[in-house]
């Protein structure tokens, strides 16, 4: 579920067109496989840079294909802030997150 500040963005024509174009591109490249696990079909377009009230209107962040990933639901739900509380996810990538460049990096203890 989108955060309140992002609801208008995710309902916008610009986002819907960008999302559709990105999915078409990914399907043409690899049949639409998840860019993370490369095992399942993509399900969601994920922003590699977490959208915030400060950057959501910056089209270089929110609508740039370079900052998007097509992921299966399982991989998307592992992203920081997307998983349900009290639900343990088992994965070889548990304990990792995406950095600002979209690369998987280990989560360091606080």
Q: pLDDT tens-digit profile of 54-98?
A: 999 999 999 999 999 999 988 888 876 555 443 444 343 566 666
95 or 39, which is more confident: 39
**Residue 74, domain extent:** 4-106
Antiparallel, parallel or unpaired: β 44-47 and 96-98: unpaired
The span from the CA of 100 to the CA of 48, in Å, is 7
Region 6-34: mean pLDDT is 95
pTM: 0.70
The span from the CA of 88 to the CA of 19, in Å, is 29
Q: Are 100 and 94 in contact (CB under 8 A)?
A: no
Locus of tokens 């959501």? 56
Structural domain count of the chain: 1
For residue 9, list its beta bridge partners. none
Locus of tokens 């294909």? 65
The span from the CA of 37 to the CA of 39, in Å, is 5
Q: Sign of the C-alpha dihedral, residues 94, 99, 103, 107? A: negative
Rg (the chain; Cα; Å): 14
């Amino acid at each position: 579920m989108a955060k309140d500040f992002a609801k208008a963005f995710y309902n916008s024509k610009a986002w819907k067109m960008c999302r559709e174009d990105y999915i078409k591109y990914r399907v043409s490249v690899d049949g639409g496989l998840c860019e993370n696990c490369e095992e399942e079909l993509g399900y969601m377009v994920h922003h590699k840079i977490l959208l915030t009230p400060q950057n959501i209107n910056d089209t270089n962040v929110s609508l740039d294909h370079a900052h998007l990933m097509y992921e299966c639901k399982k991989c998307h739900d592992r992203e920081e802030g997307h998983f349900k509380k009290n639900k343990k996810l088992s994965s070889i990538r548990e304990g990792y997150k995406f950095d600002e460049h979209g690369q998987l990096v280990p989560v360091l203890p606080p």
